[in-house]
Structure 1
Amino acid sequence: MDVIYANSELICSTNASINKCSRYKGQKTLKKEVTVHKWIKVSLIVLSVCLVFAFGGVCTLAILLSHATPLAFFNSDFSVPVSDQDQNATDYKAQFDALRHQHEETLRKLNRLNYSTGCALCAVHWIHSGGKCYYFSKFKMNWTQSRDHCVCLGGHLVIINSKAEQDFVNSNVKVTHWIGLNDLETEGHWVWVNKQPVNDSVEFWIKRENGIREPDNWTKGHPDGEDCAGLGHPGGETDFWSDAFCSLEKRFVCEAPAAV
């Protein structure tokens, strides 16, 4: 019985050692697994941070490139952007010419239509007179802006070719208005917006009693002088022409062919 009891204790002791070793090995394996997972997690965090910084660098570079001046492109070896700009400019000009031709063709069709009906057609807010349509603005712009706005409306700044036309335009204004006359290209050589020079027999420059007449190209405060013409001046009558600084803001008169 004693032997059996001793053997039993030995067996129990042996089993306890095995269990203890098993628990130790299990704890060691778990510790290794936790350590590996921890390092994987840290590596992923570091990788994520690196990706964020890399993305930020790419975005910064894109912003800098988008705000780069044309000079930077000219000084570099990039020729494609310049070529693209030239191509775009050519395309825009072609589109503008096509629209202008379409507008002229539409006016010709309206002319033929209204010739048969005896009616004169002008756009809303335009006034018909002598085969033309006239637009008298209610707001002010400088001369260049006025010229461009008339083009956008389908016409041009008014070109006055007769005393009757001068009287008609004058009868519809009470303050100074821009007309389509300028000497921007050559001082003293006054031309209309269609590049035609003023007819000496049809000109209405103001003539003062002291012998001084318009255009006088006054340069006080404006070295470039007075290069654009308007009806009258801010403090006077409107039945004559006077030159003025093109940067001044005035009302303006547009004209376009009437559909008659």
Structure 2
Amino acid sequence: MSGREGAGPGAAAPAEERSCSWLNPWGFLVAALAIKTAFVTICLVVFLRGSQGPSQTLLWNGTEWSCVPSGAAGREEGWMCCPKGWRCFQDKCYYLPPDTMSWGDSEKNCTGMGSHLVVVNSKAEQEFLFTLGREAATDAYETKYYLGLAADERGRWRWVDRSPYVAAEAFWKPGEPNLLFAEKCAAIHIKGHTDSNTYYNWNNILCFTSCYRICELGAKFV
């Protein structure tokens, strides 16, 4: 009887098989991804720290980002980054898509970009949004931009990020909101370049109205 035939079912596997048992393709994949992530992170930090210009553009997770010194957001050093084409203000990024949609579709569109419809937290932010919206509106007689604010079935206003809604800190136009039984979505309401009402320009409208929108996301700091 040969040595091969004499080996029982409990015998040890050949040495060449044992030596390759750790070569799991999933293990290779995880290790490769970890090494790649570490390499990209190191390169990103070195690139930004070594840059001397007033702003830089980089590719991050498949998206092109534009960065400015983070001192603009009240931080001492580093960079504040927003996706290319978005506008920076304080520690947030804002984008005004060029098409119009209902409120529900507008929120889905923003969340699809990793953001949400804008939530207004201060008078300074409201002034910035008014200026941004008026620049985009050019000479249009009337333009509305959806906010991330809508009323529930009981008429209670809710922000999409679940921030508390404080009526005293809202920026409704005089007489608004009205017709709350039907008009349950909020928008910034701008009447071309003739509109000087910087702060108090919110209007509640029917949620299926086709309007522009403002998307917002947090800036990245590196």
TM-score category of the 2 structures, normalised to the smaller one: 0.5 to 0.7
Q: One-letter code of the match for 1:143?
A: W
Whether contact under 8 Å (2:145, 2:214) holds in the other structure is yes
Are residues 1:256 and 2:217 paired?
A: yes
Map of 2:147 onto structure 1: 179
Q: Percent of aligned positions with the same letter in both sequences?
A: 30
Q: Structure 1 residue 206: deviation in Å?
A: 0.7
In the aligned structure 1, how far is the partner of 2:86 from the partner of 2:155? 32
Shift of 1:198: 1.5
**Which residue identity does 1:167 align to in structure 2?**
E
Contact in 1 for aligned 2:185/2:204 (Cα 8 Å): yes
Letter in structure 1 aligned against 2:144: T
Deviation at 1:186, TM superposition (A): 2.9
Cα shift at 1:138: 1.0
Deviation digits for residues 211-256 of structure 1 (CA, Å, limit 9, x no counterpart):
xx111026xxxxx610100001678947411100000111100100
Cα offset, 1:201, TM superposition: 3.3
Query: Alpha-carbon deviations, 1:123-171, whole Å to 9, x = none?
Result: 0111111100001111101100000000001100000000000000110
2:160: which partner in 1? 193
1:226 is aligned to: 183
Q: Does the alignment pair 1:243 with 2:204?
A: yes
CA 259–116 in structure 1, closer or farther in 2 if over 3 Å, else same: farther
Q: Is the 8 A contact 1:190 1:197 kept in 2?
A: no
Residue 114 of structure 2: aligned partner: 154
Which protein is richer in helix relative to its size? 1
Secondary structure class of the residue paired with 2:167? coil
Q: Highest CA radius of gyration, 1 or 2?
A: 1
The count of residues paired between Structure 1 and Structure 2 equals 139
Matched ranges for 1:34-49 at <5 A: none
**Residue 97 (structure 2) aligns with:** 137
Opposite residue 186 of structure 1, the aligned amino acid is E
In the alignment, the residues of structure 2 paired with residue 187 and residue 181 of structure 1 have an alpha-carbon distance, to the nearest angstrom, of 14
Distance 1:234 1:205 in 2: 15
Q: Which runs of 5+ in 2 are unaligned?
A: 1-60, 135-142
Task: Provide, for residues 41-79 of structure 1, a one-character-per-residue CA deviation record: whole Å limited to 9, x for no partner.
Answer: xxxxxxxxxxxxxxxxxxxxxxxxxxxxxxxxxxxxxxx
Q: Distance in 2 between matches of 1:233 and 1:187?
A: 28
8 Å contact kept, 1:134–1:255:
yes
Q: TM-score, normalised by structure 1?
A: 0.49
Alignment partners' CA distance in 2, 1:234 and 1:227: 21
